[in-house]
């Protein structure tokens, strides 16, 4: 793949990490469903084209997703990277970009899908938490896993403290996963993640920081 689009809804810290990683190919646009998203100004200041497809301007989720897909196609985006994009995508949208749609989620999936993952992890008393990069499928936060990173849950942790520790790992593993897919070393085949090099897969599959 030679081009990618990043979708955001807010400040886009993972977008920043992706762009600063100087991934292969070209970021042809950063697109937000919110015109007030702070990440748009950051991307524009780095010379990255930006677009807004405001979900509030469409009568249904299906109509919005159709407009979003058209915007991605117009700029020539091959790989679509969700970076804090706070919309549940329709099955038709996901099917259209199957194998080319990636998300990062702040938990060790399949544990704690959905929102408020850090609060849920603390409430459950888990000793290890983390983040996951995965291909997107119609089932929410259930797509095939590319890379994960684990962090310890410390005594006295708050949701904010745990979130900050996890976010540091998100900024590391998301560019790694995106690079692998853009370079063709990792892809989705028959619903499974396939790597060209099993050794590389083993090295990247789980990051456990010291």
* CATH topology match: 1-97 vs 105-210: yes
pLDDT at 204: 73
More confident residue, 185 or 210: 185
Catalytic residues: 105
With a CB cutoff of 8 Å and minimum separation 6, the contacts of 40 are: 8, 30, 32, 50, 52
For 20-48, what is each residue's pLDDT tens digit?
999 999 999 999 999 999 999 999 999 99
pLDDT at 210: 62
| pTM value surpassing 0.85 | yes
Residue ranges of domains in the chain: 1-97, 105-210
Tell me the CATH architecture of domain 105-210: 3-Layer(aba) Sandwich (3.40)
Is pLDDT larger for residue 99 or for residue 205? 99
What is the DSSP pairing of strand 50-52 with strand 79-82? unpaired
Q: Rounded CA gap, 119 and 166, in Å?
A: 13
**CATH class name, domain 1-97:** alpha beta
The token pair at 120 is 């849920």
pLDDT at 198 over 80: no
């Amino acid at each position: 793949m030679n081009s990618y689009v990043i979708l955001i809804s807010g400040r886009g810290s993972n977008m920043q990490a992706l762009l600063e990683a100087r991934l292969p190919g070209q970021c042809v646009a950063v697109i937000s469903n919110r015109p007030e998203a702070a990440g748009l100004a950051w991307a524009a200041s780095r010379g990255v084209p930006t677009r807004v497809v405001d979900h509030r301007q469409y009568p249904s989720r299906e109509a919005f997703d159709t407009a979003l897909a058209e915007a991605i196609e117009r700029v020539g985006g091959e790989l679509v990277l969700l970076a804090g994009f706070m919309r549940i995508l329709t099955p038709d949208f996901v099917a259209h970009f199957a194998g080319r749609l990636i998300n990062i989620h702040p938990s060790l999936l399949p544990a704690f899908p959905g929102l408020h993952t850090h609060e849920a992890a603390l409430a459950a008393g888990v000793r290890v938490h983390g983040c996951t990069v995965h291909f997107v499928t119609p089932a929410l936060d259930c797509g095939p896993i590319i890379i994960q990173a684990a962090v310890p849950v410390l005594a006295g942790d708050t949701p904010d403290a745990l979130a900050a520790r996890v976010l540091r790992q998100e900024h590391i593993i998301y560019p790694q996963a995106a690079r692998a897919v853009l370079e063709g070393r990792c892809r989705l085949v028959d619903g499974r993640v396939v790597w060209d090099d099993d050794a590389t897969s083993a090295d990247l599959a789980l990051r456990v920081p010291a």
